[in-house]
A and B are shown apart, each in its own frame.
Chain A
């Protein structure tokens, strides 16, 4: 029995209605192993955002299959899809999307809100997650009291607070200056070393090159998929996770 994959796309197609119909995703097959850190890179209009949406169950593929943590999700209804998102997926967005007027701690605790976790436990886990992204000293700060880099750290803490099977980060450094960007990338590496499975969607080739695997997308197809040989995947598997066997 092969270990289950964090994420698997099988011949995924996404078409938008129109004349002629736009094929944003044109038969993509892709596997993300557990504990992997990968970049999906491509220029705007390449279909990488659609890919993020389909991978994150925010949108259904027109055809093809999507499975997350071994669960086939492409045919699920709204309630089950929401359950998948609440427990198996963590999102990081370019615009952070922190809720104003809510402390960093409560913003992170919201990551557990729809899993029905009691408030006390949510806050405890949120504090842990904030400490793990280096913001242990900013628990009670409001978003508008934080720098851009700190906000993105809060957003990352929110994406990992429920220990998802996969974290999808959409241009996580897109709104940040170069210093903060480097720090965020370092944090992503650090989480990866600690065992998280992370997919970074970016248009920035430099960001992509800093990651162990690059999946280049163009016109809705995978152009190439390269794993850097100096950082084989098997080495990323750490204690607490199944060891990953490269096929």
Chain B
């Protein structure tokens, strides 16, 4: 038997085909007619993706904020304090510490403070023992510049004011003493002497001790209180590339006789450690998001299996109208993909919204990694494809005669 020529057969058969534009409308027809079910079955994916995007967004926003803080403060700050080791340390560093440290090549800046025994009081009516944890300190004029500190109100000490009874308050000190304004010439008592407040500083994230200080100039401290000012803390900035080298020699430089009585720290490391702690939590929540995504995928597979059973007659009809097995498979696969894409898009939107909301309350900039958004959508689609595969194959394998049997 030969292939019939067109003259005999009248018609030349073209292969069954479904246009690309129709694949989508066919694949979405089941979703459009069952809106509630569509929404509910996409919800699992939405929650999973929202959790993942939200967690990544929040942790990234928080990290960006922390990084910005660290960058602003600089990672090249080292702090030297007496450790009070076995030598029965006297709680002070050698008197010439600033001079010796400044001779170390890569050290760009160094400044110290000296803790004073003198009590800081709001006025002469306050009991001398109620200092509120505020400490008087004599400070280098370089201190503010070394720490990248900022003045909140008033001004920092200068050559002139360092010699007069004037004081600049740390952020916490100002709050405890109830001083917000310096133009009125507020005065406080330090070691029984009246000092005029000329400035209040912003908080030092890298040197919180100073926030509880009342800082006066070294000359006036020497004149009024102690003749021997030995540093109780050294703050130094180094060349960022050589910070480890500087750190290694700092102990012996400061105190050659007993280097173990000197403790050296890098404050930015603390912030970085905080960052690391947060990422441990991030991983935990990411895991939870992944589990919920998986559950969402199982939900979609479940709904699709039910849809295939329910729509047996529709499958039969479509086969009778000329749909190939592949067309049926594509229809249900498209449906599962659309379902999961819908869930994924809603999840990304929700995740971004959650991030924006949380970052707003924290005063952070909103940072959602693009990778999290794209990754969220892609993983939703992958889950949808996997979830839709089995139901779609089942639908495609169904014999037309079986599918057309009355329910």
User: Which positions in A face B, CB cutoff 8 Å?
Assistant: 1, 4, 53, 56, 58-59, 69-72, 78-80, 82-89, 91, 93-95, 97, 99-102, 110-111, 113-116, 118-119, 158, 165
Contacts and interface: CB of A to CB of B under 8 A. Distances in A.
Given A58-B401, A71-B9, A95-B313, A116 B14 contact: yes
> Which of A94, A95, A100, A114 has the most chain B CB atoms closer than 10 A to its own CB?
A114
Interface stretch (B208-216, B246-254, B322-330): B322-330
A2 to B, nearest CB: 10
Interface string B303-335: 000000000011011111111111100000000
Given A86-B322, A119-B22, 11 more contacts: A58-B401, A59-B401, A82-B324, A88-B11, A93-B317, A93-B320, A97-B404, A113-B18, A113-B323, A114-B318, A116-B18
Nearest to B317: A97
A113 B324 contact: no
Shortest Cβ-Cβ A-B pairs, 5 listed: A86-B322, A101-B33, A114-B322, A116-B17, A82-B16
A95 B400 CA distance: 15
B15 interface: yes
B320 A71 contact: no
B8 interface: yes
Given A83-B16, A86-B321, A114 B327 contact: yes
A79 B319 contact: no
Contact of B11 (A91, A118, A165): A165
B180 interface: no
Nearest to A142: B33
B72 interface: no
Interface in B360-407: 399-401, 404, 406
B19 A99 contact: no
Contacts of A85: 16, 319-322
Interface string B281-323: 0000000000000000000000000000000011011111111
14 contacts: A70-B8, A72-B1, A79-B15, A82-B319, A82-B323, A83-B15, A85-B319, A89-B320, A93-B404, A101-B29, A114-B318, A114-B324, A114-B327, A116-B17
Contacts of A94: 406
B313 A97 contact: yes
B284 to A, nearest CB: 44
Contacts of A116: 14, 16-19
Nearest to A52: B401
Contacts of A101: 29, 32-33
Given A58-B401, A97-B313, A97-B314, A83 B406 contact: no
B10 interface: yes
B13 A84 contact: yes
Contact of A99 (B16, B314, B326): B314
A158 B321 CA distance: 9
Contact of B324 (A1, A69, A79): A79
A118 B19 contact: yes
Contacts of B36: none
B66 interface: no
Contacts of A165: 10-11
Interface of B: 1, 4, 8-11, 13-19, 21-22, 26, 29, 32-33, 313-314, 316-327, 399-401, 404, 406
B35 to A, nearest CB: 10
Given A70-B4, A86-B321, A111-B321, A4 B9 contact: yes
A78 B29 contact: no
A115 B19 contact: no
A216 to B, nearest CB: 23
B11 A110 contact: no
A110 B324 CA distance: 14
Contacts of A102: 29, 33
Nearest to B322: A86
A114 B318 CA distance: 8
A97 B319 contact: no
B19 to A, nearest CB: 6
A58 B400 contact: yes
B22 to A, nearest CB: 6
A99 B29 contact: yes
A70 B1 CA distance: 11
Nearest to A34: B10
Nearest to B35: A101
A175 to B, nearest CB: 10
Given A95-B406, A101-B29, A115 B14 contact: yes
Contacts of A53: 400-401
Contacts of B320: 56, 58, 85, 89, 91, 93
Contacts of B29: 99, 101-102
B13 A83 contact: yes
A115 B11 contact: no
Contacts of B9: 4, 69-71
Nearest to A161: B321
A87 B12 CA distance: 9
A84 B404 CA distance: 18
Given A59-B399, A97-B317, A71 B13 contact: yes
Contact of A58 (B1, B313, B319): B319
